[in-house]
Amino acid sequence: MRALRFAVLLPVLLAGCATPAPPLPVQPYTSPANAETTAADGCGHFATQMEFAPLREHLALDNLTSQTPQMLADRRVPTRAERTLIRRWLTQRDSCQRAAIDAEREQSSPQMIALDEQLLRDNQALGEQLAKGRLSYGEFARRRQALVDRYNDDWQAQWQAYSAARSEAERRAAEDAWLRDRYWRDRAYYDSYWGTPAYGPGWYAYPYYDAHSHVYIGIGGRF
């Protein structure tokens, strides 16, 4: 779900004596974990735990893909015993989702993390209403589905922007690496062009004019 990619294409400089440069090696990267299986209600494998067996026919205890039409139409309000189980489930689910959000922080943008945090708060508030017996199972299921649908739409938009920015940063880094390698590989040609060396051990190369592509090039990019 989170595998959107954004490619930015720029003209590639010619290397050596009019020899085409190889394509810039933009490296693929792994997207953050799937929203639907972390912050968006997919956490903990609660449906397999016997403790929560009485809730299975009423609630999608893990991922919302297991939510049935019968659950959405269920008019029953939880009994006192069921509300006790619901509170236990909510406590464990919220703890699991908090851990999932924290694990994603370094792979996500602040905007994406904010969406995860908001979904967690919204789910907590909604779950509290069910645990107090103020909602039927069906009303809870429908509201929960609406929360996750909105979250997924907003998260996809943020992921597209994040993916595009990261792809562009990787492209620029690859281009800079290629320019550095090319300069040091062909420095004798450029020293001859300028008439004297302008580099030494530990120095950065000076900006130079590429007679082949007619642009100024320096370590780190174009001028």
| One-character DSSP codes across 52-118 | GGGGTTT---S-GGG--HHHHH--PPPPHHHHHHHHHHHHHHHHHHHHHHHHHGGGS-HHHHHHHHH
User: What would the pLDDT profile of 155-167 be if each residue is shown by its tens digit?
Assistant: 888 888 888 888 8
Least trusted range by pLDDT, from 51-55, 85-89, 188-192: 188-192
Q: Taking the model in full, what pTM does it have?
A: 0.58
Cα 132 to Cα 33: distance, rounded to the nearest angstrom: 32
User: What would the pLDDT profile of 83-108 be if each residue is shown by its tens digit?
Assistant: 999 999 999 999 989 998 888 888 77
pLDDT of residue 35: 37
